[in-house]
Structure 1
Amino acid sequence: MTSAARTDVGTIEDLHSSATRATGLDDFGDTDYLEPLGILLESYRSEAGLTELGSKMFRFFLKGALVARLLSEASWKANPGYADVEVTRPIFVTGLPRTGTTALHRLLAADPAHQGVEMWLAEFPQPRPPRDTWSDNPVYQQIQAGFEQHHVENPEFMGLHYMDAAEVEECWQLLRQSVMSISYESLAHVPTYSQWLSRQDWTPAYLRHRKNLQLIGLNDPGKRWVLKNPSHLFALDALMAAYPDALVIQTHRPPTTLIASMCSLAEHATPGWSTTFTGAQVGRDQLELWSRGLREFSTARKRYDPAQFLDIEFTDLRSDPMGTVERVYAALDTPMTDAARAAVTALDEESQSGARKPQHRYQLSDYGLDEATVEAAFAV
């Protein structure tokens, strides 16, 4: 007799035990994350319609968040000098997904005078080791092997969002330590968690985010941070509280041209994970989420100095990437060095071919949407 397939993600105690077994650590720090974790688990159980595969994947994701939390706590204790590291005039790239945030982020991070959060360090926070040692690091090797396997098994995802252990990635990986991230509702139907999150002050999560940057950048003092995450749209006040001198770059593209792309990305990232988060439900969830995020950001932005914001059109980034990057340096009142120009040029050329070349096909009707519905949702 076979046992029934498991479709629950588990309990807080289950996840704590799993993370502790994986690391040998048990200090999770403050307890602020327990409330959102409990709400998210209940949403997964009662609303998400998870399959056995989906429940396994979300257990893996939440275990990863708790492992990262444990590692940060331990590394802060082992490296008390992190507290003295300055984070000065960081750049935050945000905007609706599929508006060029990833491309702009990676171009800016190519400057040798800049630093971003590399994927493997977001998952295993620690002071960034010298770059020439990464290939011999067992943690780096493990994460990179996982991405290489994913590339082989899911080649179509490469054109949606290229990922690599050494690549700078979205800093939601740091926010997930606090279980405050719209990444969860971007990948599953969890309306109760979504409604709870929409009412919260994200400042504690962003202060922890800052502590992680100080830790990761401990060996690279003086380098400017370049961060990117569409979810910053939902938390501008918290971002500004933690980083009052930030330059915030907002990328723009007509919503009718990108909502189907966003839905396609969500669908390709979660194949077979849910009987609920499919087709028209993906369309409804993503349209509500991102139209709300853009409205909240637009309202909050009016409370701050306009000089702290820079608007970038997707078409300008595509047609003149170097000119677009130069606008960022001008906004910072910082000269663009020859080394920065060379690095940006090289990365831009690489991004137009091979595995990084964008390849993405989708249409609104696949997700129960049409242009009129999208335009109405984004009307301000």
Structure 2
Amino acid sequence: MWADRAVRALWETGLTPKPPVDPEYLWKIGSRGFETEDERSGRDEIEVEDFRERLAKLCVSLSEEARLNALGHTMAYGQLSSAIRTRHALGRVWRETPSLATTEIAPPIIVVGQMRAGTTRMHRLLAADPRHTGTRFCNSHYPVPAKPDLRRFKAGAALAVARQINPWLDTLHPFGATRTDEEIGWLAGALSPATFEAQWRIPSFVGWNEAHGADPVYAEFARILRTDASVMGDAARPRILKCPQFSEDLPALLRQFPDARLVVTHREGRALLDSSVSLVASQMAFQTDYADLVAIEAEWRRKLALRDERIEATLAGFDGPVARIDFDALGANWRREIAQTYDAIGIQLTAEALEAMEAEQALSANSAHLQHRLQIAQFATS
């Protein structure tokens, strides 16, 4: 790939040294320009230690297991140094304005389900209701508030570059700098594996995370949500939250938002696994020269089973409102499924909400995302 060759040429000619994916070096780069207190502002000691431990274990996994090419190495370095920088920047915000992290918010509505199971569609339909609100893509990936707010422009530029590197990007997920999107950027900033395991082979880090627990990650997530709600002026409206990682970490998320309503999506059959493998394979394909489709499929068969088990175990002990949505039923008649969802979670469905949802449906009608089913065949024959 041209981007990988370009990065490797820069290293080989000495124009740019290969940056080490090493915790101490990354910390030095990511914390540059910040105060020592910014690491700890708003966070307890367990959370501080958790982030440091996550960083160390992820770096080991990247170095010993991922077999990254030059582009993959550069992307890993960039993402981890950015996570450290963002963590310090948020700490500085909370040190200067502590009230942002404790903003009172309306109980959220949380969309839970496997990736490729209709979570994005349900998420955006619910967020289209004018009585609700959603997180903008740019706010997810650039959570630090600033004046003037240039995040939409930064996100737009980042998406333009990403589309050049990964031609499959818009078939993976319908992106837009200011469109409602999942909060995966907030999780990545706390070093949850949510975005990393879809790009790199990092089994030791993934296994450690599954056994370790995610309360520190979601404590940070909650502070960012409260800050975002205050800055965006929508704290009084229920935020529609969504990320497939929630299905793995639902108890920790609900400890932060015990009064949440849940919308749980489900998709039967082989199509769910194939679509998940396609997403991961297309992400890995340009970051390593050793992507193994058989290994990816085995891992995501295991991962999907784990997430299903954890969803059902959590729901068995949850006494709040829950709506269950079937992927095929949503595709066949989304209005009926929305009506049933609103009834199950105790919200009146209004004509105004349906009108806004119709507009969202029209926006998605010609999405490149519809071509996603072709990717697995392209990867397998490349």
Among 342, 360, 374, the residue aligned to 2:373: 360
- 1:199 paired residue number: 211
Taking only aligned residues, the RMSD between alpha carbons, in angstroms, comes to 2.8
Do structure 1's residue 93 and structure 2's residue 111 form an aligned pair?
Answer: yes
Distance 2:345 2:224 in 1: 24
Query: Structure 1 residue 64: deviation in Å?
Result: 2.5
Check conservation: 1:159, 1:356, Cα contact below 8 A. yes
Q: Secondary structure at the match of 1:183?
A: coil
Do structure 1's residue 123 and structure 2's residue 141 form an aligned pair?
Answer: yes
Q: Secondary structure at the match of 2:140?
A: helix
Structure 1 stretch displaced more, 84-93 or 312-321:
84-93
Do structure 1's residue 271 and structure 2's residue 285 form an aligned pair?
Answer: yes
Equivalent position amino acid for 1:339 in 2: E
Structure 1 stretch displaced more, 273-282 or 308-317:
273-282
Equivalent position amino acid for 1:18 in 2: I
Among 295, 303, 306, the residue aligned to 1:289: 303
The 5 Å alignment of 1:216-231 reads 216-218=228-230, 219-231=233-245
The 5 Å alignment of 1:150-229 reads 150-151=162-163, 154-218=166-230, 219-229=233-243
Check conservation: 1:50, 1:274, Cα contact below 8 A. yes
The 5 Å alignment of 1:46-57 reads 46-57=64-75
Distance change >3 Å, CA 285–CA 8, structure 1 → 2: farther
Structure 1 stretch displaced more, 143-152 or 106-115:
143-152
What are the superposed Cα offsets for residues 6-64 of structure 1, whole Å, 9 maximum, x if unpaired? Answer: 8875111222232234x656522233201111011101111111111111111122122
Query: Structure 1 residue 364: deviation in Å?
Result: 8.5
Distance 1:77 1:8 in 2: 31
Do structure 1's residue 11 and structure 2's residue 29 form an aligned pair?
Answer: no
- 1:243 paired residue number: 257
Distance change >3 Å, CA 106–CA 358, structure 1 → 2: farther
Q: Secondary structure at the match of 1:179?
A: coil
- 2:335 paired residue number: 322
Distance 1:17 1:232 in 2: 31
Equivalent position amino acid for 2:68 in 1: L
The alignment's TM-score, normalised by the length of structure 2, stands at 0.85
Equivalent position amino acid for 1:252 in 2: H
Query: Structure 1 residue 181: deviation in Å?
Result: 2.8
- 1:36 paired residue number: 54
Q: Secondary structure at the match of 2:204?
A: helix
Distance 1:189 1:342 in 2: 43
Equivalent position amino acid for 2:227 in 1: L
5+ long unaligned stretches in structure 1? 130-135, 369-380
Equivalent position amino acid for 1:209 in 2: F
Distance 1:154 1:273 in 2: 10
Distance 2:144 2:345 in 1: 28
Query: Structure 1 residue 156: deviation in Å?
Result: 3.4
Structure 1 stretch displaced more, 242-251 or 58-67:
58-67
Equivalent position amino acid for 1:264 in 2: S
Query: Structure 1 residue 84: deviation in Å?
Result: 4.5
Check conservation: 1:9, 1:58, Cα contact below 8 A. no
Check conservation: 2:112, 2:263, Cα contact below 8 A. yes
Distance 2:168 2:188 in 1: 26
Q: Secondary structure at the match of 2:197?
A: helix
Distance 2:140 2:241 in 1: 12
- 1:81 paired residue number: 99
Check conservation: 1:90, 1:227, Cα contact below 8 A. yes
Do structure 1's residue 141 and structure 2's residue 159 form an aligned pair?
Answer: no
Q: Secondary structure at the match of 1:72?
A: helix
Query: Structure 1 residue 224: deviation in Å?
Result: 0.6
- 2:352 paired residue number: 339
- 1:313 paired residue number: 326
Structure 1 stretch displaced more, 41-50 or 152-161:
152-161
What are the superposed Cα offsets for residues 218-248 of structure 1, whole Å, 9 maximum, x if unpaired? Answer: 0222111101111111112111211111112
Do structure 1's residue 106 and structure 2's residue 110 form an aligned pair?
Answer: no
What are the superposed Cα offsets for residues 119-171 of structure 1, whole Å, 9 maximum, x if unpaired? Answer: 21122224598xxxxxx843321221221343456443312212122122222
Check conservation: 2:111, 2:265, Cα contact below 8 A. yes
Query: Structure 1 residue 279: deviation in Å?
Result: 1.8
Query: Structure 1 residue 264: deviation in Å?
Result: 0.9
5+ long unaligned stretches in structure 2? 1-10, 41-47
Check conservation: 1:75, 1:125, Cα contact below 8 A. no
Check conservation: 2:266, 2:327, Cα contact below 8 A. yes
Distance 1:236 1:46 in 2: 30
Aligned length: 360
The alignment's TM-score, normalised by the length of structure 1, stands at 0.86
Distance change >3 Å, CA 126–CA 153, structure 1 → 2: closer
